Chain A
Amino acid sequence: AQSVTQPDIHITVSEGASLELRCNYSYGATPYLFWYVQSPGQGLQLLLKYFSGDTLVQGIKGFEAEFKRSQSSFNLRKPSVHWSDAAEYFCAVGARDMRFGAGTRLTVKP
Chain B
Amino acid sequence: GAGVSQSPRYKVAKRGQDVALRCDPISGHVSLFWYQQALGQGPEFLTYFQNEAQLDKSGLPSDRFFAERPEGSVSTLKIQRTQQEDSAVYLCASSFTSGPFNEQFFGPGTRLTVL
Contacts of B100 in A (CB 8 A): 32, 95-96
- Considering the complex, which residues of chain B in the window 44-73 have a beta carbon less than 8 Å from any beta carbon of chain A? 44-45, 48, 55-56, 58-59
Contact A43/B91 with A96-B100, A100-B44 known, Cβ cut-off 8 Å:
yes
Tell whether B107 is near chain A: CB-to-CB under 8 Å: yes
Contacts of A41 in B (CB 8 A): 108
Q: Across the interface, do A97 and B56 meet the contact criterion of CB distance under 8 Å?
A: yes
The chain B residue with its CB closest to the CB of A91 is B42
Tell me the minimal C-beta distance from A60 to chain B in angstroms: 11
User: What count of chain B residues pass the 8 Å CB interface test?
Assistant: 27
Tell me the minimal C-beta distance from A103 to chain B in angstroms: 5
Using a Cβ cutoff of 8 Å, how many contacts connect chains A and B?
57
Q: How large is the interface on A (under 10, 10 to 19, 20 to 34, 35 or more residues)?
A: 20 to 34
- Considering the complex, which residues of chain A in the window 70-107 have a beta carbon less than 8 Å from any beta carbon of chain B? 90, 92, 94-103
Tell me the minimal C-beta distance from A97 to chain B in angstroms: 5
Q: Across the interface, do B41 and A99 meet the contact criterion of CB distance under 8 Å?
A: no
Please classify the interface of chain B as helix (H, G, I), strand (E, B), loop, or mixed, using the class held by over half of its residues.
loop
Contacts of A42 in B (CB 8 A): 108
Tell whether A44 is near chain B: CB-to-CB under 8 Å: yes
Additional A-B contact list (12), CB under 8 Å, known A44-B91, A45-B106, A96-B100: A36-B106, A43-B107, A90-B42, A90-B43, A94-B45, A96-B56, A97-B45, A97-B48, A97-B56, A100-B43, A102-B41, A103-B41
Q: Enumerate 29 A-B pairs (CB-CB under 8 Å) in ascending A order.
A: A4-B42, A6-B42, A32-B100, A32-B101, A41-B108, A43-B91, A43-B105, A43-B106, A43-B107, A43-B108, A43-B109, A44-B91, A51-B101, A90-B43, A92-B42, A94-B45, A96-B31, A96-B55, A96-B56, A97-B48, A97-B56, A97-B58, A97-B59, A99-B45, A100-B43, A100-B44, A101-B42, A103-B40, A103-B41
